[in-house]
Amino acid sequence: MRNSSYSIALTVVAFVLFSDGCLLFSFDTKYAKIMQRLTRCCTIGKKMSNQKNGTQAGPAMNRHERRIAQKRQVTSIVLIVLETLILIGVLIVFFHFFTKLKDRDFATEKPKSSQSEDQASGSVNVDNDNFALTCYKVQIVRDVDGNPAALIYFHFTNKTSEPLSMSDVFPPSVRQGDYDCETFATLEDAPEELYNRDLQISDGQSVECCYAVKLHDTMDTLTLTIHDNHDTFTDIGSVDIPLRSEGPAEEPAE
């Protein structure tokens, strides 16, 4: 954050100084050309006037040239002073901005960063006026076909008076790597919590539930996303669930 702000400040100052230099250089160049042309015209006109009158250019011509030179000198001094004042002003603004950035308290921005990190690392837990949901355990099992599956356990509370189940309010979606995982794996010995996902409760009652998810393998991390299907109709958040490196024990082949 600070490095980005410093870079922006330096870029702005450099752009201002470059633009100021180009503008003043262009003005100096144009002014010098104009004064050269005026001097040349005055010199030619004076010579023609002297030749017509049969006189030679004398002290009057020298005084005219000195007057033009003095004007050019004064103008150059004014431009130099103007450039210096603009440079000083830009430097003052820059150091003021730099000091504010350096002394700025970024503590007020840390909660936002922490909140973003929490959302990125994952939180599917909910606790509001209507519901409470906590994901507390993941268990690797086998489905009826012997393929790997995962039981994701939740503690669900319905604080409203409307009978609702966890599957009604908080349907899940699960990904493993590039694969979408089915959340209705068929188990031979399903725990009671698997059936509780469709159990309707109300008035502050709580129940232990779980979803049975078909896995692509037992190595890649699961990404669990919970959707609010009652209040906001948006995803609550996602959480990455690392699995064991070793799969569930294989039954010995006969």
Q: pLDDT tens across 53-78, in order? A: 655 544 545 666 667 777 777 777 77
User: Token pair of 149, please?
Assistant: 């599956």
The pLDDT, as a whole number, for residue 116 is 32
* Mean pLDDT, the chain, integer: 76
* Residues 179 and 216 occupy one common structural domain: yes
CATH number at residue 190: 2.60.40.1240
* Residues 177 and 97 occupy one common structural domain: no
The residue among 41, 75, 104 that closes a domain is: 104
Determine the structural domain holding residue 15 and report its residue range. Answer: 2-104
Q: Which residue, 207, 185, 192, 198, is CA-closest to 140?
A: 185
The residue among 104, 135, 151 that closes a domain is: 104
| 114 inside domain | no
* Residues 165 and 62 occupy one common structural domain: no
What value, to the nearest 5°, has the Cα angle with vertex 74 and ends 71 and 79? 125
Quick: pLDDT tens for 146-166.
Answer: 999 999 999 999 999 999 999
* Residues 138 and 198 occupy one common structural domain: yes
| Cβ–Cβ under 8 Å, residues 168 and 200 | yes
| 112 inside domain | no
Angstrom CA distances, 114 to 4, 111, 135, stand at 19, 5, 21
